[in-house]
Amino acid sequence: MKIALACDHGGLNLKREIIKYLTENGYEYKDFGTNSFDSCDYPDYALPAAEAVAGGECDFGIVICSTGIGVSIVANKVKGIRCAHCHDTYCAEFTRLHNNANMLAMGEKVVGPGLAIKIVEKFLTTQFEGGRHERRVNKITEIENKYCK
């Protein structure tokens, strides 16, 4: 499993903690930046990460900014991406079970590193349930196909 990672300057500390977790647990990852605390624009980093997931280069993505909101908006502009902004393990679990989310967004100023690692772990280890949820995810795809040309 390969994970796309991206953050802006407001999410760099948390991204570094997630990299430690991924490395220690045998996950492969691709870091799309930033790697500096200099002010930068989160779309410049979240977009290539989302494109890597949508294009199949990476299986899942994790994007981080101060709140998680901006990076989730950017990721969800890419056709094929279902990015969930999660601040607890329950949401991380159920976005995989029911929504088949393929990207996770978090905010460094919203969740601490300990909780963030638990969220990442739950997100990466939970499998999509399918069944009645497949029908709903397919409807999301239909909407996407209608509006995202």
Which active-site residues does the annotation give?
Answer: 65, 98
Distances (CA, A) of 55 to 62, 96, 123, 124, 136: 15, 19, 20, 19, 22
Q: How many CA atoms within 13 Å lie on the side-chain side of 25?
A: 17
Of the candidates 52, 55, 54, the one whose C-alpha atom is nearest the C-alpha of residue 30 is 52
- Residue 59 and residue 21: Cα distance in Å, rounded? 17
Q: Is the dihedral of CA 37, 113, 89, 87 positive or negative?
A: negative
**Distance, CA of 75 to CA of 70 (rounded, Å):** 9
